[in-house]
Structure 1
Amino acid sequence: MSTSTPDGSDVVVTPEEAQELEHPPLLVLDPVTAWLDVRGLGEGPLSWERIGDGQSNVTFLLRRGERRLVLRRGPRPPLPPSTHDMVREARIQQVLGAHDVRVPRILAVEEGTDVLGVPFYVMEHLDAEVVTDTQPGALADDPAARAAASAGVVDTLVSLHTVDVSAEDVAALGRPEGYLERQVRRFTDLWPQVSTRELPGFDPLATWLDEHRPTRSAHAVVHGDFRLGNLMLDPTHPGRVVAILDWEMATLGDPLADLGYLTATWSDRHGAWPATVMDHSPVTVQEGWWDRDELAQRYAAATGADISHLPWYRALALWKAAVFCEAIRTRWLRGERPGDQRFAPMLEEGVPELLRQAQEHSRQL
């Protein structure tokens, strides 16, 4: 529920109040209001609401009179180098929006740190639904609507992967050659930086991923976190995806990385794979939602992609997720995630389980 009352921890009114806190707040109302005023984004008092299920970056719904806006920023500093780059994330959406990718319109970007201590951007608010642990509208009681939504998820991914990566502005978003090799190397190098414990499953998986890396792959825009919880669905026509959210990890690379991530983190009604901390939309176990194989088969039919190595991409997805989740756990142990009483405590066992399931996928090849 939206409120104009600061909570004194995550949200305060003035910079002076922010300086008195042990940990910097996420939203400071007075300077944000002034920043919005300069850019003509709404009028009057500012009310706010924390939204989204993301465990990394932070999203607020802002209201000023009849105007609704969405502010997105990184977590509290200190931040690892080259992570939580909100300026780049906004630019990606601006570029892809010009190529008919369904993204919210970016209204303003703050590259400096004077307002909130980190860069941030503001985008339009869309009248659509994000599905996680509840099913809005027709999805609540109509299996046919759930099937339509499943098809819409895959078709949206297919559409993203057909964007022309040779276009000058799109080509500037990344270097697709060597994408898989760089992914394995980067996350192998990240692990000792983010983990404070020994988990024996990590290094063998890193070696296996490197030694069994697919050598032939297509080039496409890769979202990097493509899942149901990062899509906004039309509440009256659930098969229509209104927008794709959370572009922090987007680049150019192998499109099957997105399909591997989508299917590895999709809650499957057949129960072939135990749930993990990455199953952010558990409703898909209910009747009507497609299972993982149905999603993959529709993608393959639409694109002609060879998905025989999909278990490798699923293993990569969960192995990478283990790195991200371990980083969250470490930040929590250091006191950098005050108020997190649900997600981070789950990661003591949640990260080892991600590694175990990644290993299970590796055995499917």
Structure 2
Amino acid sequence: MHTVPDGVEVVASWDRAGHLESPPLLVVDAATAFLDTHDVGRGPLAWQRIGDGHSNVTYLIERGGEFVVLRRGPRPPLPKSTHDMVREARIQKILHWHGVPVPEIVAVCEDESLLGVPFYLMGRLDGTVVTDTIPAHLSPIEQRRATSEAVIDTLVSLHSVDVTRGELASLGSPDGYLRRQVERFRGLWEVNTTRSLPAVEWIADWLARNLPASQTASVVHGDYRMGNLMFAPQAPAKVLAILDWEMATLGDPLADLGYVTATYSEAGILTTPLELTPVTRAQGYLTRHQLAERYRSRMGLDLTPLPWYQTLALWKAAIFCEAIHTRWRRGERPNDTVFGPSLETGVPRLLEMAAQHAGLTAAPRR
């Protein structure tokens, strides 16, 4: 962990940030004062940036032997209604009460003067996130299967929470969720791109013309995948917490199933920029079809329209990945030497795979 500010991403105080072209992400004296207010540790801070997120920023903070995780949005200015840390923390507090595995929320800061944006602290979990290596305790064949099963069983537990009453009902209306998703992301494309990719529009047309009828309403995580799950540090495979609630809302649960199955790595299927847990290509993990069947058997929903939701997932992914690519081209991601450049071809590949799920081989007739 780091104890000395680098003067760019992390500064000792706001006085040391005046010469920077972009505001810092962590201001040590401001963070220290906030920890003091909430009686978290004593003495100087140590920090380490963690996670594979390309949007919000997460730091592991150590102070006097105590650990917390600080989560904040990216540098301002922020698009309206995005990166809402206060809402994200509130959702997790509510879901914790309902028994959904989420991190413990320690404190929330709405005062933008401290770090430039709102942020919150959550408890550190002693667990494992499965990405490009298989943890030793989850490596036996039976644990690989159990890991895949836990992904779906945890999603089922989330989608089984009653959203018609209590505080959850106040998070928004699930009615019209799918149409709003298509309209919102269609509008984001023009804002986030500097190039012409016609597939975005004709896939949007197809999605809008073929909207399925939602069978039920649930909390929708919005970025549900194995890499956003914290597993217990010992066998058997068990999910300790669902992470990264930035996109959560009320809506159609099959949106989550479409996303997790469309982005899940499987042997023999082409890779995409969203292949963030490639280990599931190895022997022993469930296939996409098996994931969907396990979900269907537990939720009792008709999965006939699942290809529509998989199309939506990859089309949306292409649009938010294009935003990252555009920021990289503008020099706003100076330390990104891999992901941003890869999106030059990665975004068109996402659109190609979205079209495949839709059964489209060319622009549809209007």
TM-score (normalised: structure 1): 0.97
The residue that corresponds to 1:292 in the other structure is 288
The residue that corresponds to 2:363 in the other structure is none
Contact 2:214 2:252 in 1 (8 A): no
Alpha-carbon distance, 1:161 to partner? 0.4
1:90-138: CA deviations, max 9, x gaps?
1110111111111111111111211111111000001011111112231
The residue that corresponds to 1:319 in the other structure is 315
Greater Cα shift, 229-238 or 350-359? 229-238
Alpha-carbon distance, 1:238 to partner? 4.5
1:223 pairs, out of 221, 224, 249, with 221
Q: Please show how residues 1-365 of structure 1 align to structure 2 within 5 Å.
A: 2-139=1-138, 141-269=139-267, 271=268, 273-363=269-359
**1 CA distance for matches of 2:228 and 2:180?**
24
Contact 2:102 2:242 in 1 (8 A): yes
1:164-196: CA deviations, max 9, x gaps?
111220101121111101101111111111111
Contact 1:218 1:254 in 2 (8 A): yes
Q: Unaligned 5+ residue runs, structure 1?
A: none
Contact 2:152 2:295 in 1 (8 A): yes
Q: SS of 1:50's equivalent?
A: strand
Alpha-carbon distance, 1:334 to partner? 2.2
Contact 2:207 2:308 in 1 (8 A): yes
**2 CA distance for matches of 1:35 and 1:333?**
35
Contact 1:50 1:60 in 2 (8 A): yes
Alpha-carbon distance, 1:53 to partner? 0.6
Greater Cα shift, 335-344 or 255-264? 335-344
User: Which letter does structure 2 place at the counterpart of 1:136?
Assistant: P
Contact 1:137 1:236 in 2 (8 A): no
Greater Cα shift, 46-55 or 18-27? 18-27
Contact 1:161 1:220 in 2 (8 A): yes
Q: SS of 1:101's equivalent?
A: coil
Q: Unaligned 5+ residue runs, structure 2?
A: 361-366
**2 CA distance for matches of 1:335 and 1:36?**
33
Alpha-carbon distance, 1:226 to partner? 0.4
**2 CA distance for matches of 1:133 and 1:17?**
37
User: Which letter does structure 2 place at the counterpart of 1:25?
Assistant: P
Number of matched pairs: 361
Alpha-carbon distance, 1:217 to partner? 2.3
- Indicate the RMSD between aligned Cα atoms, in angstroms: 1.3
